């Protein structure tokens, strides 16, 4: 958490005190560092210098408009997986010709939206999708630029729920099928097969699975080019892991080397779809201890951030680092606590059995690594408003999504007509009197 450091006894986001932010905006709140976003992006892009490479930020990781716009200003494209994400990317200023549309279940409406916007490419994941896209494009008198997403049958060695490159996963097209579909694509007037794509999973902490997947894709690309297909782009997906706890992910240089080695000598453009790597460590979830509670078996810190705000620990048993906002006294004894939220589920745990300096009611904590898959995966479960998002830049900050208010939170619900009736009837009887 380099952008988050102690100054004068309190954790700061760049030049802004988290104590001050909590006072002004309240908790829970997501806080992002502009500097961290920019530094991460620049380091990532620089690692691919010399290649014809386009970095398409995977907006699913953090789709706040301000975050997407920060990357767009630096020249990034976007990887989107829904019409909603396409809408966001365009609203944030990402040029359409830098947008790739991925995902296993694109609907006709989504295809139409992508075609009308004239995006760079559709990553197609099945024969039926290819046929539908051909039809939709033909109706619009367009040719859809297509990359076939292959399933290289490589074990990403990450959490099962975020592993995508094995043959039993729903993603991608197996290589023998991809050969057949390339032949089919050549016969479909609405399709312009331009590339191949791969993405084997997220939070990868070793480089070998990447290298194996890239090599398989490059080999297929060489074969298809030799057979006369116009393959001119390879989309290497995302997935580069970060350090939440004690992981040892590959450094950027070795990750980039795996890409370079695979495409060596191929006259093609590279697309990269990093998500987590660019945003995870640029964000914290700021939260306040509501109560400390001594159970017979355990001590609990009941904080005001919950599984609806940050679901990764509940969903994947993910480890998120926690820092007290008040700098702990040097040599302060650590005590083991379960950091839990107020949601009515036993699974509403942020950090089970975590050794932390002593906490008290009202203390602030910063939950780290929360810039990726945090706010985007939040819900209003227990009718809890969506937490605000704040972007810090040096000594200034901006609320880039205000806290949802209660009127907004229930404002889209409607009473069915028959539920309105009794009240209306009552009013009528009143009038008669």
Q: Where do contacts with ligand LLP occur on this chain (CB under 6 A)?
A: 58, 60-61, 79, 102, 162, 199, 202-203, 237-240, 273-277, 312, 316, 373
- Name which of 25 and 372 has its Cβ closer to ligand LLP: 372
Q: Provide, rounded to whole angstroms, the least separation between the CB of residue 275 and ligand LLP.
A: 3
Q: Is cis: bond before 339, omega within 30 of 0?
A: no
- Name which of 324 and 371 has its Cβ closer to ligand LLP: 371
C-beta separation of 364 from 304 below 8 A:
no
Q: Provide, rounded to whole angstroms, the least separation between the CB of residue 71 and ligand LLP.
A: 13
Closest CA to 146 of 109, 189, 107: 189
Q: Provide, rounded to whole angstroms, the least separation between the CB of residue 377 and ligand LLP.
A: 6
Task: Specify the 3-state DSSP secondary structure of 315.
Answer: helix
d(CA 21, CA 316): 29
d(CA 322, CA 318): 13
On the CB side of 298, how many CA atoms lie within 13 Å of its CA? 11
- Name which of 102 and 337 has its Cβ closer to ligand LLP: 102
- Name which of 195 and 274 has its Cβ closer to ligand LLP: 274
Q: Provide, rounded to whole angstroms, the least separation between the CB of residue 103 and ligand LLP.
A: 7
d(CA 218, CA 259): 10
Closest CA to 343 of 299, 385, 381: 381
Task: Specify the 3-state DSSP secondary structure of 301.
Answer: strand
- Name which of 102 and 120 has its Cβ closer to ligand LLP: 102
Does 56 qualify as catalytic in the annotation? no
Instruction: State the helix-helix crossing angle for 175-187 and 208-226, rounded to 10 degrees.
Output: 40
Closest CA to 178 of 203, 152, 201: 152
For the record, the structure tokens of 73 come out as: 């200003």
- Name which of 202 and 287 has its Cβ closer to ligand LLP: 202
Backbone torsions φ then ψ of 340, nearest 5 degrees:
-130, 160
Residue 119 region by backbone torsions, left for phi larger than 0, else alpha for psi between -120 and 50, else beta: beta
Closest CA to 32 of 410, 399, 430, 414: 399
On the CB side of 207, how many CA atoms lie within 13 Å of its CA? 14
- The alpha helices in 236-371, defined as continuous H runs, are 252-263, 276-279, 312-316
CA distances from 91 to 63, 95, 191, 230 (A): 11, 10, 27, 32
DSSP code for 370: -
d(CA 9, CA 24): 19
Residue with tokens 């830098």: 98
Q: Which of the residues 49, 226, 253, 344 is marked catalytic? A: 344
- Name which of 33 and 151 has its Cβ closer to ligand LLP: 151
Q: Provide, rounded to whole angstroms, the least separation between the CB of residue 379 and ligand LLP.
A: 13
- Name which of 18 and 198 has its Cβ closer to ligand LLP: 198
Q: Provide, rounded to whole angstroms, the least separation between the CB of residue 396 and ligand LLP.
A: 28
For the record, the structure tokens of 302 come out as: 């009941």
Any idea which residues carry the catalytic annotation?
344
């Amino acid at each position: 958490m380099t952008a988050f450091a102690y100054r004068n006894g309190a954790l700061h986001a760049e030049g802004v005190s988290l104590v001050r932010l909590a006072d002004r905006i309240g908790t829970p709140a997501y806080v992002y560092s502009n500097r961290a976003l920019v530094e991460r992006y620049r380091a990532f892009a620089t690692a691919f210098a010399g290649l014809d490479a386009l970095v398409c930020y995977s907006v699913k990781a953090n789709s706040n408009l301000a975050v997407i716009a920060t990357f767009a200003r630096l020249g990034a494209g976007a990887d989107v997986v829904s019409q909603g994400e396409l809408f966001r990317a365009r609203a944030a200023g990402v040029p359409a010709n830098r947008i790739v549309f991925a995902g296993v279940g694109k609907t006709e409406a989504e295809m139409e939206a992508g075609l009308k916007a004239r995006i760079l490419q559709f990553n197609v994941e099945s024969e039926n999708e290819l046929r539908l896209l051909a039809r939709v494009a033909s109706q619009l008198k367009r040719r859809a630029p297509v990359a076939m997403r292959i399933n290289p049958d490589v074990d990403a060695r990450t959490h099962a729920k975020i592993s995508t490159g094995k043959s039993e996963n729903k993603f991608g097209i197996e290589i023998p099928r991809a050969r057949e579909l390339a032949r089919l694509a050549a016969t479909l007037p609405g399709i312009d097969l331009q590339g191949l794509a791969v993405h084997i999973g997220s939070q990868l902490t070793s480089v070998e699975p990447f290298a194996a997947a890239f090599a398989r894709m490059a080999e297929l690309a060489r074969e298809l080019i030799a057979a006369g297909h116009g393959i001119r782009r390879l989309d290497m997906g995302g997935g580069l892991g970060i350090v939440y706890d004690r992981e040892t992910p590959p450094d950027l240089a070795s990750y980039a080397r795996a890409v370079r080695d695979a495409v060596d000598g191929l006259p093609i453009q590279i697309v990269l779809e990093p998500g987590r790597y660019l945003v995870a460590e640029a964000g914290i979830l700021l939260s306040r201890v509501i109560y400390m509670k001594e159970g017979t078996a355990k001590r609990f810190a009941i904080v005001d951030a919950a599984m609806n705000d940050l679901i990764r620990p509940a969903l994947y048993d993910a480890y998120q680092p926690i820092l007290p906002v008040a700098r702990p006294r040097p040599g302060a004894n650590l005590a083991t606590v379960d950091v839990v939220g107020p949601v009515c589920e036993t699974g509403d745990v942020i950090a089970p059995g975590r050794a932390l300096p002593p906490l008290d009611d009202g203390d602030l904590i910063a939950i780290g690594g929360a810039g990726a898959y945090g706010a985007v995966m939040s819900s209003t479960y227990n009718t809890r408003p969506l937490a605000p998002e704040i972007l810090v830049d040096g000594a200034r900050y901006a609320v880039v999504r205000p806290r949802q208010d209660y009127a907004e939170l229930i404002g889209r619900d409607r009473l069915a007509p028959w539920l309105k009736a009794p009240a209306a009837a009552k009013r009528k009887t009143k009038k008669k009197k």
